[in-house]
Amino acid sequence: VDVSFIPALRAIVGATHILEDADLRRAYETDWTRRYHGSTPFVVRPGNTDEVAAVVAACAGAGVSLVPQGGNTGLVGGGVPRAGEVVLSLTRLNTLSPVDAVGGEVTVGAGATLAQLQQHVRAAGWNFGVDLASRDSCTIGGMIATNAGGIRVIRYGAMRHQLVGIEAVLANGQVIRRLPGLRKDNTGYDLANLLAGSEGTLAVVTAARLRLIPQLPSRAVALLAVPHTAAALAVTASVRAGTTGLEAAELFFSEGVELVRRHAGLPAPPVGTSPAYLLLECAAPANAADELSSALSTIDLPTAFATEARQREGLWAYRERHTEAISAEGIPHKLDVALPLDRLAEFEGRVRQHLREAVPEARPILFGHVGDGNIHVNILGLDPDDDRATDAVLQLTAELGGSISAEHGIGVAKTRWLHLTRSPADIAAMAAIKSALDPRGILNPGVIFGMSALRE
Amino acid sequence: VDVSFIPALRAIVGATHILEDADLRRAYETDWTRRYHGSTPFVVRPGNTDEVAAVVAACAGAGVSLVPQGGNTGLVGGGVPRAGEVVLSLTRLNTLSPVDAVGGEVTVGAGATLAQLQQHVRAAGWNFGVDLASRDSCTIGGMIATNAGGIRVIRYGAMRHQLVGIEAVLANGQVIRRLPGLRKDNTGYDLANLLAGSEGTLAVVTAARLRLIPQLPSRAVALLAVPHTAAALAVTASVRAGTTGLEAAELFFSEGVELVRRHAGLPAPPVGTSPAYLLLECAAPANAADELSSALSTIDLPTAFATEARQREGLWAYRERHTEAISAEGIPHKLDVALPLDRLAEFEGRVRQHLREAVPEARPILFGHVGDGNIHVNILGLDPDDDRATDAVLQLTAELGGSISAEHGIGVAKTRWLHLTRSPADIAAMAAIKSALDPRGILNPGVIFGMSALRE
């Protein structure tokens, strides 16, 4: 990057918001998985949308590439620099507007964290439909750019489904802005939905109007010992058809529960040991326990039931503590795939054998959001750069009609496998859209399409 | 159109599926509102996706423009020819695959009608989230292309929210296909969501994978006499926060109820005459009446309550019969706008006066889906080509931050007003996407952008 470029940016954001010092840059150059890192000449931290637009316009004019970054909690290397790009940090755009109680909506800056949003809307008597373990760090802009999911997609959808308006800066520095909060708006192409999940390659999200959900005080959790994935799917389908409050349906296995118990010192699950476990949560204005127990009344499987908060947390612990227990054993390969629901049991049944044949030392630990067909395949015992396990898992996913990225995105981690589940026609259409909106390829180059694609 | 082109199409779809005869063409050349019509040299009726792709490729090669058409129930002239385009009718693509009971999904051809889909999935114990009065004619492909809404958007969203996969033919004849049914899929741009609402300008939808919803046997309807729109909004917000089963929230006024009563011979509503009425419906696996009456327990307004089917229909009649009662008085201008919920009462309060000043002879009848901020402004007493009323209503909508098309789309009817609520940056971004995917502008020319735009 031409250093003569820096004074122009200083004039836009102020000297204190350009970070050139290596110590200050470091946190922006490496992602939290420790797998992805690069170097940036400097980090720019604009304080509002106009400044973002001016920075992007200046970069576009100089032909300088940008990597937009929120809370830097991505898992596929899409938010850290790769080849000397400028890092555009959005964390100062953290405004939270008052909650619109009539519409049940709120406007929020891209840099606000999920936890800040949650705290803000809960104080006003509402809740937000997406929740993630990284809530204290992940930002709303990053969650939109990656279309973040989490455990409640089964009920409320992913980030794109919460969007009722967006503000973003295009690669030419122009601002698109639709923030009034329109639940119905059929006036041309839905740019908000196009940007959701585009991983910073089409525009820089600066703010969003989000729908809120009611606070549901009545909650019930059931933990079931299930013999296998097919049984978990059948129970989930039955509960889904018999309730309207199903909010989570989590599947995990003895391999993970043993690890969690050892790591966290937990007793055996109250349903005993089992090859697989299904955790269900229902939430409603009232009587969630009646709804869930009635939906489970015909199911003859060992079941533990909890309504009181601490008991519910006790059942959830077997699932929620997977991530920390796995990380305590080493740096895992985290593969996040989705299968059509009618192929999920087959995938789960075959993937361990498939891995064993490809990489005998691989140690897989699976868990997932079974209602969405989403399985997180965590693999221990591998070198971080060993792609054989990734190859084996993603090939099997593609063979069964699945998606090689359910929630995390493509980033730079999965560009080599994109062709497995997106056809040449799909990829050509995506590349045409990318070229149309970012002809010089300055926004997050290398992400989704790979470094060799799309540059002039 | 060069007639030498026809034999090539005959070879693709068979001679009987090219309609050249004026009598046969007529039904495809005029929409059902009778406001929009044009002429086509011929109608092509392909029988499967490969034939659609071959027809589009042949047209692209010859530089011939196409107007995709489903059930021809659009309200903005987006599905009938304008300047001699070939009509591409998709109604023969009406395959319905077996319902996937594990995932609660179904794959359906673009030409199947909504009623056929409903019948098919109900027989398998499921339901579909979008319902419209034109269900016997409107097709799934047209509903996706226009992102159709209807009365249950408040609970289930519009067509785009039902999409879990799409198959479509691009302007170059290539097929994009993602039909396995993936609830989570973050592998690049969401082309399905881009095509939803694009009104046939980016691709021809040939099939879709749709999510289904449970059949909810317990239903309760309440009709409330409300003093004004603000009260209807407050009641709706309160019920929404206190229930999870709210499926419809319809607002209408004495002007419409008087017309309906005269036209259909109905008695006065059981809540008496009132300036405005709010109709609410809750649906649940059980106890919907408890849920709705509990949510209304603090509301002190005249309320009629119904749970039995015939009684529910009796309350619904005051709302549902608006369309036929209005049409019986003449050909209305149908303006379909959305407002931010916190501006809806102001809009309703001002629009009649605003109209009276602009067009004294205009006779407005309003009704709408109040939970979505969607108001249908029907105007009687005007010449079909008199745009003064359209101008007045859409200007007010824009002034209040609304959308000039909530459900119907832009078509050719509203292209002149698109700039009112989409900024130059928005429109430029949309036009760039259009040019990228359809560089020769052969797909539904004139729609959204106007006839002067986008042609080479």
Q: How far apart are CA A427 and CA A199, in angstroms?
A: 15
With contacts defined as CB-CB under 8 Å, which chain A residues touch B158?
184
Positive/negative CA dihedral, A121, B237, A217, B151: negative
Of B234, B422, B436, the CB nearest to A436: B436
Cβ neighbours for B284, distance < 8 A, ≥ 6 positions apart? A244, B216, B218, B244, B245, B291
Q: Is the minimum CB–CB distance between B98 and chain A shorter than 8 Å? A: no
Which of A99, A185, A193, A296 should one mutate to test binding to chain B, selecting the residue with the greatest count of B CBs within 10 A? A185
Task: Check A188 against B285: CB less than 8 A apart.
Answer: no
Of residues B445 and B5, more confidently modeled: B445
H helix runs in B14-145, sequence order: 22-29, 49-62, 114-123, 140-145
Q: Is the minimum CB–CB distance between B52 and chain A shorter than 8 Å? A: no
Q: What letter would DSSP give residue A403?
A: B
For residue B452, what pLDDT is reported? 67
Positive/negative CA dihedral, B5, B7, B13, B18: positive
> Does B410 score more than 60 pLDDT?
yes
Of A175, A190, A421, the CB nearest to B193: A190
Residue A339's nearest CA partner among B196, B141, B105 is B105
Task: Report, as an integer, the average pLDDT of B148-165.
Answer: 93
Q: Is the minimum CB–CB distance between A238 and chain B shorter than 8 Å? A: no
With contacts defined as CB-CB under 8 Å, which chain A residues touch B189?
194, 197-198, 202, 429-430, 433
Which of B144, B151, B154, B185 should one mutate to test binding to chain A, selecting the residue with the greatest count of A CBs within 10 A? B185
- Closest residue of chain B to A374, computed from CA coordinates: B184
The model's confidence at residue B241, banded by pLDDT at 50, 70 and 90, is confident
Q: Is the minimum CB–CB distance between B429 and chain A shorter than 8 Å? A: yes
For residue B286, what pLDDT is reported? 85
DSSP lists the bridge partners of residue B374 as B338, B369
> Does A455 score more than 50 pLDDT?
no
> Does A220 score more than 80 pLDDT?
yes
With contacts defined as CB-CB under 8 Å, which chain A residues touch B171?
none
The model's confidence at residue A452, banded by pLDDT at 50, 70 and 90, is low
Q: Of the ranges A2-6, B13-17, B196-200, B227-231, which one carries the lowest mean pLDDT score?
A: A2-6
For residue A240, what pLDDT is reported? 87
For residue A4, what pLDDT is reported? 75
Q: How many CA atoms lie within 13 A of A179 on its CB side?
A: 17
Burial A323-356 (b: 16+ CB within 10 A, else e): bebbeeeeebbbbbbbbbbbbbbbbbeebbebbe
The model's confidence at residue B285, banded by pLDDT at 50, 70 and 90, is confident
CB B113 within 8 A of CB B138: yes
Determine how β-strand A363-369 pairs with β-strand A374-380.
Answer: antiparallel
> Does A312 score more than 50 pLDDT?
yes
With contacts defined as CB-CB under 8 Å, which chain B residues touch A231?
none
Q: How far apart are CA A339 and CA A347, in angstroms?
A: 8
> Does A222 score more than 50 pLDDT?
yes
> Does B274 score more than 50 pLDDT?
yes
- Closest residue of chain B to A172, computed from CA coordinates: B425
In chain A, positions 133-162, which contact chain B (CB-CB < 8 Å)? 146-147, 149, 153-154, 157-158, 160-161
With contacts defined as CB-CB under 8 Å, which chain A residues touch B216?
244
Task: Report, as an integer, the average pLDDT of B90-109.
Answer: 94
For residue B456, what pLDDT is reported? 34
Question: Cα A352 to chain center, whole Å?
Answer: 24
What percent of chain A stands above pLDDT 90? 87
Q: Is the minimum CB–CB distance between A338 and chain B shorter than 8 Å? A: yes
Task: Check A101 against B436: CB less than 8 A apart.
Answer: no
Stated pTM of the model:
0.95
- Closest residue of chain A to B439, computed from CA coordinates: A432
Task: Report, as an integer, the average pLDDT of B135-163.
Answer: 95
- The encoded tokens of residue B315 equal 């309350």
Of B185, B194, B244, the CB nearest to A194: B194
- Closest residue of chain A to B284, computed from CA coordinates: A244
Cβ neighbours for A4, distance < 8 A, ≥ 6 positions apart? none
DSSP lists the bridge partners of residue B224 as B278, B303
In terms of residues, how long is chain A?
A: 456
Which of A97, A102, A186, A209 should one mutate to test binding to chain B, selecting the residue with the greatest count of B CBs within 10 A? A186
Question: Cα B77 to chain center, whole Å?
Answer: 13
For residue B388, what pLDDT is reported? 94
pLDDT digits (tens, 9 = 90+) for A349-395: 999 999 999 999 999 999 999 999 999 999 999 987 789 999 999 99
Computed over every residue of chain B, the mean pLDDT equals 94
For residue A316, what pLDDT is reported? 97
What percent of chain B stands above pLDDT 70? 98
Of B295, B414, B433, the CB nearest to A433: B433
Which of B127, B183, B297 should one mutate to test binding to chain A, selecting the residue with the greatest count of A CBs within 10 A? B183
Task: Report, as an integer, the average pLDDT of B227-249.
Answer: 93
- How far does the CA of residue A320 sit from the closest CA of chain B (Å)? 20
> Does B437 score more than 50 pLDDT?
yes
The model's confidence at residue B1, banded by pLDDT at 50, 70 and 90, is low
> Does A456 score more than 50 pLDDT?
no
With H, G, I as helix, E, B as strand and everything else as coil, classify residue B331. coil
CB A268 within 8 A of CB A261: yes
Task: Check B244 against A285: CB less than 8 A apart.
Answer: yes
Residue matched to tokens 């593609």: A398
- The encoded tokens of residue A9 equal 């940016």
Q: Could you please report the per-residue DSSP string of A73-109?
A: --SSS-SS-SSSPEEEE-TT---BPPPBTTTTEEEEE
For residue B385, what pLDDT is reported? 79
Task: Report, as an integer, the average pLDDT of B374-378.
Answer: 96
Q: How many CA atoms lie within 13 A of B136 on its CB side?
A: 0
Cβ neighbours for A249, distance < 8 A, ≥ 6 positions apart? A154, A232, A236, A239, A240, A278, A279, A280, A369, A370, A371
With contacts defined as CB-CB under 8 Å, which chain B residues touch A101?
237
pLDDT digits (tens, 9 = 90+) for A110-168: 999 999 999 999 999 999 999 998 999 999 999 999 999 988 999 999 999 999 999 99
> Does B375 score more than 90 pLDDT?
yes
Task: Report, as an integer, the average pLDDT of B159-173.
Answer: 96
CB neighbour class for B364 (10 Å; exposed up to 12, middle 13-18, buried from 19): buried
Task: Check B244 against A244: CB less than 8 A apart.
Answer: yes
Q: Is the minimum CB–CB distance between A432 and chain B shorter than 8 Å? A: yes
Q: Is the minimum CB–CB distance between B125 and chain A shorter than 8 Å? A: yes
For residue A3, what pLDDT is reported? 67
- How far does the CA of residue A73 sit from the closest CA of chain B (Å)? 16
Q: Is the minimum CB–CB distance between B436 and chain A shorter than 8 Å? A: yes
Of A103, A184, A402, the CB nearest to B182: A402
Task: Check A188 against B233: CB less than 8 A apart.
Answer: no
- How far does the CA of residue A114 sit from the closest CA of chain B (Å)? 20
Task: Check B174 against A428: CB less than 8 A apart.
Answer: yes
For residue A288, what pLDDT is reported? 94
> Does B258 score more than 90 pLDDT?
yes
- Number of Cβ pairs closer than 8 Å across A and B? 280
With contacts defined as CB-CB under 8 Å, which chain A residues touch B298?
none
Q: Of the ranges A95-104, A432-441, B50-59, B197-206, which one carries the lowest mean pLDDT score?
A: A95-104
In chain B, positions 207-226, which contact chain A (CB-CB < 8 Å)? 214, 216
